[in-house]
């Protein structure tokens, strides 16, 4: 039996592998603290669950739907941008797919030919580079300075650009760093992309999870020319605690949206009808449960940040303002406890302190570890306490 070169070239998802590692240890009866998760720990809000129950009972979600999503859902998504940013999108500018991850995968399938380059700022979410490789493209990594939370600038892009560059992936708020670009920075990057005719894929899946007075920032709020050069990717997973429902979307340039639809018509078919009806309610009937979840993450960030920077040898240049991760540089802590690398330090944390995080190399920066604070505050505090005791013992 032979497997394709394509699949042999793909790295398995490091975040899913880390969660699995934590589950394996738990199954062995070990009391493990897992700070690996990339999802909200809240239940999906009741008003959304009720909409899904209604759909099941009334059999309105039983059948195939249009490949690009039920028009009412595409309208609800377009309306949310009209409401929030006063920007109008037509229905043929919206594609609804099976989660943002699959939407991103499909986008790279339609944008990238073999050998084409896609610029990806580091640190990056684990799937971006693999999606580009699965399209036989070449990820080109660009990293800004630690002091600026690794944010990239137009000058960095200029250096990375070649004749082969077809797209730029920008994820703000970022997984794993939590950094949020300013509206001015986004506009400048957008203008550069227009000038070079590089498509911007803007992963804004955490756009509603912003904290401590951070203004909403989005490619939707740029000028018409930049907006037309951009495909926004977003979805219900993070905002509405709906990761398992698998609804994400792409928004923007009509030609690209039509191409994504054509690909999906052969590769996927439609996303689940029941989930689509639930997400229509999520957008159109939003209650204050959604804002309460955001407030809870804000509170957890504020506590988790103070705890993380209080660990000897852990450093963070800035406090993040979005998503639900902290991505400290821990090289000093590794050194002070006698480990040659952060990978080894991380293994020891798992095996001896029984705290599981995700190692930074999977996000392109081997000096860091990614901590998710989408867990209850006591669990996070206990994880930090164990790490402190571990460091105290070893140094
Ligand atoms: N983009 C980023 C940056 C993410 O962190 C995630 C999930 O972790 C996704 C996309 C995928 O979201 P979805 O659940 O809609 O597939």
pLDDT given for residue 164 in this prediction: 98
- Ligand 1, pocket-test mutation among 16, 100, 102, 126, most atoms within 8 A of CB: 100
- Full DSSP string of 238-265: TTTT-GGG--EEEEE-HHHHHHHHHHHH
Cα 126 to averaged position of ligand 1 atoms, centre (Å): 10
Separation between Cα atoms, residue 87 and residue 85, nearest integer Å: 5
Q: How is domain 46-284 classified at the architecture level of CATH?
A: 3-Layer(aba) Sandwich (3.40)
Residue 14 has pLDDT above 80, yes or no: no
Confidence tier at 315 by pLDDT (50, 70, 90): very high
| Ligand 1 centroid from CA 200, angstroms | 17
Q: Is the CB of 203 under 6 A from ligand 1?
A: yes
Q: Whose CA is nearest to atom 5 of ligand 1?
A: 175
pLDDT attached to residue 12: 78
Pocket test for ligand 1, best of 18, 105, 125 (most atoms within 8 A of CB): 125
**Model confidence band, residue 25 (pLDDT cutoffs 50, 70, 90):** confident
Confidence tier at 191 by pLDDT (50, 70, 90): very high
Pocket test residue of 17, 175, 231, 282 for ligand 1, highest count of atoms within 8 A of CB: 175
**b vs e for 138-154, b when ≥16 Cβ sit within 10 Å of the residue's Cβ?**
bbbebbbeeeebbbbee
pLDDT at 24: 87
Q: Please tell me the distance between residue 278's alpha carbon and the centre of ligand 1 in angstroms.
A: 19
pLDDT in tens, 117-155: 999 999 999 899 999 999 999 999 999 999 999 999 999
Q: Is the CB of 173 under 6 A from ligand 1?
A: no
**Is 16 a residue whose pLDDT tops 80?**
no
Average pLDDT (219-244) is 97
CA distance 53 to 234: 24
User: Tokens 């790279």 appear where?
Assistant: 108
Q: How far apart are the CA of 127 and the centre of ligand 1, in A?
A: 9
Partners of 371 in the beta sheet? 326
- The per-residue pLDDT for 9 is 85
User: Are the C-beta atoms of residues 346 and 314 closer than 8 Å to each other?
Assistant: no
Residue 243 Cβ inside 6 Å of ligand 1? The answer reads: yes
Q: Could you tell me where in the chain the CATH 3.90.1150.10 domains are found? A: 5-43+289-394
pLDDT (0 to 100) of residue 77: 98
Cβ(100) – ligand 1 distance below 6 Å: yes
Rounded alpha-carbon distances, angstroms, from residue 346 to 15, 115, 306, 337, 385? 14, 35, 21, 11, 15
pLDDT score at 26: 86
Residue 15 has pLDDT above 80, yes or no: no
State the pLDDT confidence band at 305, using cuts at 50, 70 and 90.
very high
Q: What average pLDDT does range 46-51 have in this prediction?
A: 98
Quote the tokens at residue 130: 């693999």
Structure-token pair, residue 256: 């690209």
Which residue ranges does the chain devote to CATH 3.40.640.10?
A: 46-284
DSSP code for 350: I
Give the sheet arrangement for strand 358-359, strand by strand: 325-326, 369-372, 358-359
Q: How confident is the model at residue 18 (pLDDT cuts 50, 70, 90)?
A: confident
Separation of alpha carbons 10 and 129, rounded Å? 9
- pLDDT on residue 173: 98
Predicted ipTM > 0.85: yes
Q: Cis (ω within 30 of 0) for the bond into 32?
A: no
Q: 355 and 20 in contact (C-beta within 8 Å)? A: no
Q: Specify the CATH number for 5-43+289-394; select among 3.40.50.1980, 3.40.50.980, 3.90.1150.10, 3.50.50.60.
A: 3.90.1150.10
pTM of structure: 0.96
d(CA 345, CA 333): 8
Q: Is 237 in the pocket of ligand 1 (CB under 6 A)?
A: yes
């Amino acid at each position: 039996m032979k497997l394709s070169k394509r699949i042999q070239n793909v790295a398995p998802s490091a975040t899913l592998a880390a969660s699995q590692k934590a589950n394996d240890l738990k199954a062995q009866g070990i009391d493990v603290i897992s700070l690996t998760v990339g999802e909200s720990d809240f239940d999906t809000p009741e008003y959304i669950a009720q909409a899904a129950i209604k759909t099941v009972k009334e059999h309105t979600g039983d059948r195939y739907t249009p490949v690009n999503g039920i028009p009412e859902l595409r309208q609800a998504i377009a309306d949310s941008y009209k409401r929030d940013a006063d920007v109008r999108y037509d229905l043929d500018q919206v594609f609804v797919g099976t989660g943002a991850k699959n939407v991103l995968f499909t986008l790279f399938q339609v944008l990238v030919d073999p050998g084409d380059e896609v610029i990806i700022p580091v640190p990056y979410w684990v799937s971006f580079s693999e999606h580009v490789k699965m399209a036989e493209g070449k990820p080109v990594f660009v990293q800004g300075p630690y002091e600026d939370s690794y944010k990239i600038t137009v000058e960095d892009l200029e250096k990375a650009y070649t004749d082969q560059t077809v797209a730029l992936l920008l994820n703000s708020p970022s997984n794993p760093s939590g950094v949020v670009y300013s509206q001015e920075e986004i506009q400048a990057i957008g203008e550069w992309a227009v000038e070079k005719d590089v498509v911007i894929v803007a992963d804004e899946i955490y756009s509603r999870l912003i904290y401590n007075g951070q203004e909403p920032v989005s490619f939707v709020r740029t000028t018409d020319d930049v907006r037309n050069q951009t495909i926004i990717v977003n979805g219900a997973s993070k905002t509405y605690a709906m990761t398992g429902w698998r609804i994400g979307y792409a928004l923007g340039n009509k030609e690209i949206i039509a191409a994504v639809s054509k690909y999906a018509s052969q590769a996927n078919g439609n996303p689940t009808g029941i989930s689509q009806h639930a997400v229509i309610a999520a957008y159109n009937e939003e209650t204050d449960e959604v804002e309460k979840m955001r407030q809870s993450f804000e509170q957890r960030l504020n506590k988790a940040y103070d705890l993380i920077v209080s660990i000897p040898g852990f450093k963070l240049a800035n406090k993040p303002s979005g998503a639900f991760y902290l991505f400290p540089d821990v090289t000093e802590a590794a050194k002070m406890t006698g480990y040659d690398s952060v990978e080894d330090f991380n293994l020891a944390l798992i095996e001896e302190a029984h705290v599981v995080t995700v190692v930074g190399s999977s996000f392109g920066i081997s000096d860091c570890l990614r901590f998710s604070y989408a867990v209850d505050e006591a669990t996070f505090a206990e994880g930090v306490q164990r790490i402190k005791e571990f460091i105290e013992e070893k140094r």
